[in-house]
Chain A
Amino acid sequence: MDPTSPFARFWDEFRRNRVAVAALGVVLAIMLLALAAPLISPQDPYDLANLVLMDARRPPGHVGSKGFTHWLGTDAQGRDLLSAILYGLRISIQIGIIAGSIAFVLGATLGAFAAYFGGRIEALIMRIIDLQLSFPAILLALVLAALLGQGKWPLIAALVTAQYAYFARTAHGAASTERSKDYVDAALSTPLAARRVVFRHILPNCLPPLIVVATVQIANSIALEATLSFLGLGLPVTEPSLGMLIANGFQYMLSGRYWISIYPGVALIVLIVAINLVGDQVRDQINPRLRR
């Protein structure tokens, strides 16, 4: 690779932080495992025909009636927890990335156009966003999830609504700075259409801070999705995500069957912490002034 390319330089600096590199490894490994879930998990946890009630709530290491070992035990329906976690991660990551991406595009576009046009358009968009940011994201998501009902897309819609404002704020700040630079004036003096100036020139130059927000927000949307599912407002019971697995095991915690809640919880925490560690390093590199 060209040693002077921005990416090569970025990676060169990134790899000096061993914690971040390890975290990146963990994120990639979890994603790979989640992607390969149908191939590697011992059981399809969504196929109710596969579930044997006899095997319910067995501790880790139990050899079930189907003849394979439940390394992480089973849940109240007799699901193999390892399989359920792998499938749950798959859903969580999928929803996190889809919701994060939609929020990214929507928020960045709104923020950049607000900064580009200025005046009343800017004031209107930014006041709505400020208003929304003054409510906790979980509250908004809860209300929306309750209104829109259960299912994957309503859940994504709730997450996007709760999160696009963060992207819009960041994009607006970055775009306001870019807006005053001469290359934008050069585009105006050509003249080029507003749409082109925003999408071709302003937004690409706002990417660095947006990428930082994106890493944090994908972790947040995974956590938010888990929270909603935990509260029963997420996906249907037949397709348990991590949040629902935790919720399902919650009632057995005190009866000693800790594994039903703990293992999905550990998986969730490891994923979120790893994403955040990667995000911290990315942020430090992109904006050294924020370094603590």
Chain B
Amino acid sequence: MSVSSLVQVQAVSKRFAPSVSIGERIAAWLGSPVETHIVHAVDGVSFDIRKGEVLGLVGESGCGKSTLGRIIAGIHPPSEGSALMDGKAVMGTGRTPLKTTTRIQMVFQDPFASLDPRVRIGDTISEGPLAHGFVGNGDAKAYVAKWLKAVGLPEEAAQRFPHQFSGGQRQRVAIARALAMQPDVLVCDEPVASLDVSIQAQIINLFLKLRRELDVTMLFISHDLGVVRHISDRVAIMYLGRIVEIGPTAAIYASPRHPYTRALLDSVPKLVTGSDELVTFKPIQGELPSPLSPPPGCHFHLRCPFAQERCKVDAPRLDGAAQAVSCHYPLS
């Protein structure tokens, strides 16, 4: 595997501020204090995605992994920093910035929502390639058939509508739509989370096959540590808008260096196959703090059993070569 980086995420932040109504503006102008509800979804995140790898992005709900995925896929512009594809920004600038590349495509979590219910499957798949001139009108049908075949669907599926398919089949369609744009990078946002276990296995196998055959690079976003372990070469752990640890999958699962990573891995229920085996969790204390007012210093210090005074004021930086960790007192 080559180590040249294909996607560069550089100090990306994303803040969501609800629009201020005219009434609130007048109130503010008259001197009344206005409460700001700014959500820091992503907070100064930097990392690279290497050519040919599958990078897993793991975190609990509200940690900002989905928002980060959408920034890299060119759906949302970042508030600060930028996501680059081979050194060129994924999105343009301006008031309503547009995506400037077709080389990154996305697969979404819910295949019931990510396909337009009124458009036939074939048109859904061919729309992008036609608009960008990857295929002519005359060849569109064969092109669609080729990609349907690649994801394991029959050619006749092109004529049908999304509601005529099961969840697993729809996810195959969504994957075909992304692949038909011939991307170098696929951003997959929880692509198997809404599927049943047996269907989930089929889609994971499909991803493994596509990766072998098409050499596509992937950012695989998931909350499911088992799935990420199975499919990723490297994994990044996200907590409250920041990457807390990133490195080779096997190394991180074997010896996590960040206390949060360790706690997360300990929280996963394991299959009990021995009758005398006792199941003991070491649950993380407390809950995820609100991203409206993240704690100062290290975001994890409120729940961390190893937190010191320094963690409450000084935010650690992501540091280290192969297995980088953002912690003042990493586990060894």
A interface, CB within 8 angstroms of B? 117, 119, 181-183, 185-193, 196, 200-201, 204-205
Contacts and interface: CB of A to CB of B under 8 A. Distances in A.
Contacts of B233: none
B99 A191 contact: yes
A204 to B, nearest CB: 5
Given A190-B128, A191-B74, A119 B116 contact: no
Most chain B beta carbons < 10 A, residue from A119, A182, A185, A201: A182
Q: For A117, A186, A188, A189, which residue has the most chain B Cβ atoms within 10 angstroms?
A: A189
A201 B119 contact: yes
Contacts of A119: 95-96
A201 B105 contact: no
Given A182-B108, A185-B108, A201-B119, A190 B70 contact: no
Contacts of A189: 70, 73-75, 99, 104-106, 187
B98 interface: yes
B174 A186 contact: yes
Contacts of B116: 183, 187, 201, 204-205
Nearest to A190: B128
A259 B142 CA distance: 68
A191 B99 CA distance: 6
B98 A183 contact: no
B96 A190 contact: no
A183 B113 CA distance: 6
Contacts of B73: 189
A186 B177 contact: yes
A67 B222 CA distance: 86
Given A181-B113, A196-B131, A188 B96 contact: no
B70 A185 contact: yes
Contact of B127 (A181, A188, A192, A204): A192
A106 B8 CA distance: 43
Contacts of A187: 116
B80 interface: no
A182 B114 contact: yes
A188 B95 contact: no
B96 A191 contact: no
Contacts of A204: 116, 118
Contact of B105 (A117, A182, A190, A196): A190
18 contacts: A117-B96, A119-B95, A182-B109, A183-B113, A183-B116, A185-B70, A185-B106, A185-B108, A186-B108, A186-B115, A188-B75, A189-B70, A190-B132, A190-B181, A191-B99, A201-B116, A201-B119, A204-B116
Interface string B70-81: 100111000000
Nearest to A119: B95
Contact of B102 (A181, A183, A191, A196): A191
B192 to A, nearest CB: 15
A52 to B, nearest CB: 57
B155 interface: no
Contacts of B115: 183, 186
B117 A205 contact: yes
B60 interface: no
Nearest to A207: B118
B74 to A, nearest CB: 6
Given A183-B114, A183-B115, A204-B116, 18 more contacts: A119-B96, A182-B109, A182-B114, A183-B116, A185-B106, A185-B114, A186-B108, A188-B74, A189-B75, A189-B99, A190-B131, A191-B98, A192-B128, A201-B116, A204-B118, A205-B116, A205-B117, A205-B118
B42 to A, nearest CB: 17
A188 B104 CA distance: 11
B114 A186 contact: yes
User: Which residue, of B99, B104, B114, has the highest number of chain A Cβ atoms within 10 A?
Assistant: B114
B97 to A, nearest CB: 11
A282 B113 CA distance: 25
Contact of A192 (B104, B117, B131): B131
A191 B91 CA distance: 11
A23 to B, nearest CB: 28
A193 B128 CA distance: 10
Contacts of A200: 119, 127
B90 to A, nearest CB: 10
A181 B114 CA distance: 7
A117 B104 CA distance: 23
- Residue from A117, A181, A186, A200 having most chain B Cβ neighbours under 10 A: A186
